[in-house]
């Protein structure tokens, strides 16, 4: 199951699995919002593994809202402790909790690629109901790569929207091999880009990534 879960996948932990995780991290269990995270039905997000992660475990992240220090908690759970998994929420759904002055930009992004998903502060506020968004929040997005449509122009199209946006647009264009930060993909076809996969980072050219042929 660990190999099947891509980065940014949202997962939910079983109560028993969360209890085990808290027993391994008593310093976290002392904070009520973290100890009660699974009981509240809140998700975790799949991250790339770190050297300290045990083999066979699923590496996960829990970003706390600004009111709780905006800490990024790194955890790992056994595959059997995951009771549900889903892709990050569609931008079209999460837009319901976005600030009013973001709505025009979100509309343009959805016109560009309706399948766009979000994984940052907007996603966490939508999924948990907790106050993650602030005046300095970025809009973190995942754009699925579709070479059959307009992959070659997608980075520059995002760039045009970003120039007029009231917030910083961050995130990755995601192909079969992993994701590339969208700003890296604005350049010449032979420019080198870094593809962040489930377990490692590989280097390729802009043209090779946008062709969708990497596996």
Residues annotated as catalytic are: 138, 140
| 149 token code pair | 């449509």
Q: What token pair was written down for 214?
A: 């990497």
> How many Å apart are CA 44 and CA 13, to the nearest integer?
8
Task: Give CA–CA dist 153/177, Å, rounded.
Answer: 19
User: Is the alpha carbon torsion for 6, 7, 12, 15 positive or negative?
Assistant: positive
Give Cβ neighbours of residue 177 (< 8 Å, ≥ 6 apart): 195, 197, 202, 204, 209, 214, 215
- CB contact at 8 A, 7 and 38: no
Give the whole-angstrom CA distance, residue 16 versus residue 2: 19
């Amino acid at each position: 199951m660990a190999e099947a879960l891509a980065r940014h996948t949202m997962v939910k932990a079983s109560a028993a699995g969360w209890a085990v995780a808290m027993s391994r991290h008593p310093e976290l269990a002392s904070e009520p919002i973290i100890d009660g995270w699974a009981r509240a039905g809140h998700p975790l997000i799949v991250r790339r593994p770190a050297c300290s992660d045990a083999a066979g475990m699923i590496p996960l992240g829990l970003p706390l809202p600004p009111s709780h220090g905006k800490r990024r908690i790194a955890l790992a759970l056994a595959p059997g402790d995951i009771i549900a998994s889903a892709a990050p929420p569609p931008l079209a759904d999460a837009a319901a909790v976005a600030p009013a002055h973001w709505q025009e930009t979100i509309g343009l992004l959805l016109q560009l690629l309706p399948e766009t998903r979000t994984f940052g502060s907007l996603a966490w506020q939508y999924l948990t109901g907790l106050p993650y968004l602030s005046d300095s929040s970025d809009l973190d997005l995942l754009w699925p790569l579709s070479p059959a449509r307009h992959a070659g122009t997608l980075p520059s199209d995002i760039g045009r929207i970003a120039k007029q946006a009231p917030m910083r647009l961050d995130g990755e264009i995601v192909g079969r091999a992993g994701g590339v930060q969208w700003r890296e993909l604005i350049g010449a076809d032979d420019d080198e880009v870094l593809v962040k996969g489930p377990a490692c980072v590989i280097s390729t050219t802009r043209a090779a990534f946008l062709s969708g042929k990497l596996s």
